[in-house]
Structure 1
Amino acid sequence: MKKYYWILLILPLLCSLLVSAQEPVTFNGGNLVIGNHVSILEDQTNSLSIKEVVNSDAFVPSDVPIPNLQLSKSDFWIRFSIKNESDQEQILLALEYPMLSTCEFYSMADGRVQKLSYDEAFSKRKYKHQNFIFDINLAKGTTSVYFLRVKSSEQMVLPMIIGSEKTIMEKLVTNDLAWGIFIGLILVMVAYNFFIWLSVRDSSYFYYVFYSLFVGLTQITLSGYTYRFIFSDSPELNHLSIILFAGLAGVTGNLFMMHFLQTRENTPKLHKATYVSIFIYSAAIILRLLGYDQASYRAIDIAAVTTVLLTFTVTISLSLKGYRPAILFLLAFSLFFTGLLLFVLRNIGVVPYNDFSNYTKEGGIALNV
């Protein structure tokens, strides 16, 4: 009986240790998403040193390919180990989310610390890309432990990929080409509607031109391209633009909807309610200007949900009455607003981060062209 007693006593402890341990990532040469091979430690004091972190037993294993840390004032430490089974001794770690305020990479093998931040000038980066890219030197057949410290005033999502320099760069170039096509479509849409406005002088087209412009700027800002190409030496402006462009897109989008659907005449009560969305978007911009970064980001999420719900209510009610502009509006914007709603739900952790929840907005915008 005593033997079984000790087995029952020790078994939960062994299970706990097995759960908390993460298997090393085995690198064979190709690109590999490592989110479900890492453990995460939240530092609510923002004061832990690397020595304290290395000795900590408070790490929690991740069970998703792309961890979503949402909005937080805490520092987060990410721990993982890599076993190199390839002939490549030079490996790259790419964190494909440029909105992190700080990202520090600690290598236990050689004691190196690599620090990157969008609060610093872009020209200081070794790899001229908006994503965070770090060097890993690891001999074939060896295993080493690594740590990341991340912090942000924005949403924190961690799509982490390891690969050879060749395969990582090929992936980044492919992404750049796709975004280049998207930016081209936005420019075409802005120019086309601008010339229509010059011809007809309809206020709906005037608001749609600015709405298209700010929606495009919002998407390329969230993807880091404004930091890379426009605000590369002005990180403060880049930080402001994250909310500024999104807020202006929301304001002009609501104004476009109000004029295009003539909500003042067709739905007077909902017309007045739309000003609530405009107010929240405006408040988000003011909050960012005053330095309330996380409050401004959350205000944008609230405004986006409010806008989606109001717009669907207006367009569906008018469509049921046979109002043709509302039917066209609903067909044109359904995918985009669905993507916008998924984006917000992803931000608050209701839906997981994946290509569908992350890029539905861009698909909807492209279809609007």
Structure 2
Amino acid sequence: MHYLNKPALIILFLLVSSFLHAQNIVRVKSTLQQEYFGNNVYLYQDTSNKLNFEKISKSPALFKASKLAVPNLGISPFNNWIKFRLVNDSEFDKVILDIPNPIIDEADLYTINGQHIDSIKNSNYEPLRNREYNHQFYLLNISLKKGDTVDCYLRLKSNQQIMAPLSLKTAKTIVPEISNTDTRTGIYLGIMLVMLLYNLFIYFTTKDRDYIVYCHYIFWVALTQMSLTGYSHRFLWTDNLWLSKNMVIFCGAMSGLATIMFAKSFLHTRQIVRKLDIALNVTVGLYTIALILLFTGNGVIAFQVVNLNAAIVSILIMIVAFAVYRKKQASAKFFLISWSIFFTSILIFVFKDYNIVPYNLFTVHSVEIGSALEAIFLSFALANKINILKGEKEASQAERLLALQENARIIREQNVVLETKVNERTHELNESLHDLKQAQSQLVESEKMASLGQLTAGIAHEINNPINFVTSNINPLKRDVEMILEVMSTIENVSQSDASDADKRQKIADYKEEIDFDYLVVEIRHLIKGIHEGASRTAEIVKGLKIFSRLDEDDLKKTDINEGMESTLIIANNLLNSNIKVITEYGGLPLVECYAGKLNQVFLNILSNAIYAVNKQFGNNPGGEIKISTANDGENVVITITDNGTGMSEEAKKKIFEPFFTTKEVGEGTGLGMSIAYNTIKKHNGQILLNSVLGEGTEFVLKIPIVHDIKAAS
């Protein structure tokens, strides 16, 4: 409380005393009544927000008399001034000015008692504990003695609707009134809390979405009423200035959104009344705009948008509920009743703000009464919905039971016919299965013959070269041997002649020079070396063939994978040409427990496909390359075969291991090679991985366990 003892102000009030004597007087009597004395005050709205108490007190002509017991100052961002005079006809030395409107943001009181000026400043921008009375209502002390006359100037400001219910109380009478207000609000919040917890329990029991949406709705409606009555500021966010100032607007928007969500969910507006559902979505947009305005500092406009949209939503939901009810939706009945009650309470509350109905205890708390009744009736609506759904479910179950019984009869009748057809079909399938097995055997044999043909061609090609080398050296060697025999005969004849030793030596030397004996010896040695190399190469090929086929090894044996790969290259050598470069990088591998002949067949199938892809990519041009590498990762040997051929499409990669799938031309492949390779690697508990890019090449990675697990293979 501040004391403004300024001589200038005293002179000012003496100058305007004639005007003050002309105004209506509020008399303080021994028995204070609770009537509002708003019709005995004068009002002025400062649209400039620049006039302070000193300037206002100098301008009595600005004020106009109020005609209402509870002045309605509207919604504006301006300062609103209320002027009135108190005359104390009682024994009290202090009275309390009671303004039970907690959504007013600022309430400053200036009092003039003779030459003494007091001021009291209260606002929602500071904690309630800083006020003289720790309550959300504005309770302002006015000191005066019996017979005193006090002139009062009250400044009110808010970004929401300002209703100014002014009344005088004493410390004795204000306590029970506040207690009664707290009790009424406590009963209301208790009802809403019970409804919230009850319906939340039902939600966890039934998992019906409508219940959780309804709980969301109850929460925001209750929080809105707490904000309107000031209890949220008093108990929840007393130290948060922004919330204290703006939560009425925010909660109003959120409760409106929750109302729309519940109506849409409960009434199934999207399925039943599509056009009205779109209209509800538009109102959601308006609430969103209001929230944006609020968060950007336009609280007054936001409050107006929320109020306008609330009126639209209230009417629109009434129309929606009625439309849904007319479409024979029984669950809409209780909703329509409950919303009608709530809608009526909103109308009463709004009419009170516009002086259509009197401002009293009932109209002030009409929304609380209406929302509590609505919460109860909506709970009935949700319960009724469950009963309706239960009835529909029982009817559906009865229909389903009849359908099941009818189906059982049909099934019994059809079983006889079906059994006969099954027997006939089984006989046909047995015959087809026999034919299929024969076809399968023929296909497998065909693949074996194709592989055998490829193997035979490889062997013939590889053995033919060294054998030709041997046979081509036989005739020259035979001729040279005969010439050697002739030389020996000639030397024998010369040695037995009567010529001197010198003549004999000369004749022999001349003869050797004549037949070029030294060249003859060199040629014989060369021919013998060629025959030896051909025979060795043939023996090596036969050894490679034995390693490749493993004809003597039908069981699991420990095998050198590198040796098997080399034997496969020997067999596949006939498919290679001089334009394809083969690069081998063999790592140090342990002996692997495997079916060697079957693995060699896998290598041959992959190499054959690689050679085919490279030839198709490069033709007779150089640049083709096949790279073979082996490695050991501790548990597996890893064989990588890479080519830079045509590569595969995504579709081909997905089907490469399917039986009968081939990318070769008709007659060039059976389509079983890679399928057999896949099954062979699987039989070894290994993996066959494929990486291929169309137009760039293909990479096969084979992982084969070093130790074969027979149980895993089975």
TM-score past 0.5 threshold? yes
Structure 1 match to 2:79: 75
Higher relative contact order (CA 8 A, sep 6+): 1
SS in structure 2 of the partner of residue 99 of structure 1: coil
- Residue 39 of structure 2 aligns with an amino acid whose one-letter code is N
Structure 2 match to 1:158: 164
Q: Are 2:290 and 1:287 aligned? A: no
Aligned with residue 111 of structure 1, among 114, 117, 129:
117
- Residues 49 and 241 (structure 1), Cα distance of their counterparts in 2 relative to 1, 3 Å cut: closer
Q: Distance in 1 between matches of 2:243 and 2:26?
A: 40
Q: Distance in 1 between matches of 2:158 and 2:199?
A: 37
Aligned with residue 228 of structure 1, among 209, 212, 234:
234
Q: Distance in 2 between matches of 1:122 and 1:164?
A: 20
Q: Are 2:209 and 1:203 aligned? A: yes
Spell out, residue by residue over 1:61-107, the C-alpha distance to the aligned partner (whole angstroms, 9 max, x if none): 11111111110122111111111122111111111111112110001
Structure 2 match to 1:13: none
Aligned with residue 58 of structure 2, among 55, 71, 91:
55
86-95 or 334-343: bigger deviation: 334-343
Q: Are 2:101 and 1:97 aligned? A: yes
Structure 2 match to 1:11: none
Structure 1 match to 2:247: 241
Q: Distance in 2 between matches of 1:302 and 1:251?
A: 14
349-358 or 37-46: bigger deviation: 349-358
Instruction: Provide the aligned length of Structure 1 versus Structure 2.
Output: 353
Structure 1 residue 154 displacement after superposition: 1.1
Q: Distance in 1 between matches of 2:356 and 2:96?
A: 31
Aligned with residue 27 of structure 1, among 7, 10, 29:
29
Q: Distance in 1 between matches of 2:139 and 2:92?
A: 17
Structure 1 residue 244 displacement after superposition: 1.9
Q: Percent of pairs identical after alignment? A: 31
Q: Distance in 1 between matches of 2:338 and 2:266?
A: 13
Structure 2 match to 1:5: none
Give yes or no for contact 2:325–2:333 (8 Å, CA) kept in 1: yes
Q: Distance in 1 between matches of 2:128 and 2:364?
A: 25
SS in structure 1 of the partner of residue 77 of structure 2: coil
Structure 2 match to 1:88: 92
Give yes or no for contact 1:247–1:281 (8 Å, CA) kept in 2: yes
Structure 1 residue 323 displacement after superposition: 2.0
Give yes or no for contact 1:301–1:344 (8 Å, CA) kept in 2: no
- Residues 190 and 350 (structure 1), Cα distance of their counterparts in 2 relative to 1, 3 Å cut: same
Superposed structure 1 runs of 4+ greater than 6 Å apart: none
Q: Distance in 2 between matches of 1:286 and 1:349?
A: 31
Q: What does 1:255-270 align with in structure 2 at a 5 Å threshold? A: 255-270=261-276
Structure 1 match to 2:184: 178
Spell out, residue by residue over 1:156-213, the C-alpha distance to the aligned partner (whole angstroms, 9 max, x if none): 1101110211102221111111111111111111111111111111111111001000
Structure 2 match to 1:187: 193
Q: Compare CA radii of gyration and give the structure with the larger one.
A: 2
Spell out, residue by residue over 1:294-346, the C-alpha distance to the aligned partner (whole angstroms, 9 max, x if none): 11101111221111111111111222333211111011121112222343454
- Residue 37 of structure 1 aligns with an amino acid whose one-letter code is N
Aligned with residue 40 of structure 1, among 34, 39, 43:
43
Structure 2 match to 1:359: 365
Q: Distance in 2 between matches of 1:62 and 1:26?
A: 19
SS in structure 1 of the partner of residue 62 of structure 2: coil
Q: Distance in 2 between matches of 1:67 and 1:257?
A: 36
Structure 1 residue 42 displacement after superposition: 1.4
Structure 1 residue 349 displacement after superposition: 6.0
Structure 1 residue 259 displacement after superposition: 1.0
- Residue 249 of structure 1 aligns with an amino acid whose one-letter code is S
23-32 or 175-184: bigger deviation: 23-32
Give yes or no for contact 2:105–2:245 (8 Å, CA) kept in 1: no
SS in structure 2 of the partner of residue 71 of structure 1: strand
SS in structure 1 of the partner of residue 321 of structure 2: helix
Give yes or no for contact 2:84–2:151 (8 Å, CA) kept in 1: yes
Structure 1 residue 47 displacement after superposition: 1.4
Give yes or no for contact 2:27–2:89 (8 Å, CA) kept in 1: no
Q: Are 2:276 and 1:273 aligned? A: no
- Bigger helix share: 2
Spell out, residue by residue over 1:107-156, the C-alpha distance to the aligned partner (whole angstroms, 9 max, x if none): 10131110000011222111000011111111112221111011111111
Q: Distance in 2 between matches of 1:135 and 1:94?
A: 9
Q: Distance in 2 between matches of 1:280 and 1:338?
A: 23
Give yes or no for contact 2:26–2:37 (8 Å, CA) kept in 1: no
SS in structure 2 of the partner of residue 72 of structure 1: strand
SS in structure 1 of the partner of residue 319 of structure 2: helix
- Residues 139 and 244 (structure 1), Cα distance of their counterparts in 2 relative to 1, 3 Å cut: same
SS in structure 1 of the partner of residue 150 of structure 2: strand
Structure 1 residue 358 displacement after superposition: 2.7
Give yes or no for contact 1:182–1:366 (8 Å, CA) kept in 2: yes
RMSD: 1.9
TM-score w.r.t. length of structure 1: 0.91
Give yes or no for contact 1:91–1:162 (8 Å, CA) kept in 2: yes
Query: Where do 5+ consecutive residues of structure 2 fail to align?
Result: 1-18, 377-714
45-54 or 225-234: bigger deviation: 45-54
22-31 or 121-130: bigger deviation: 22-31
Structure 2 match to 1:8: none
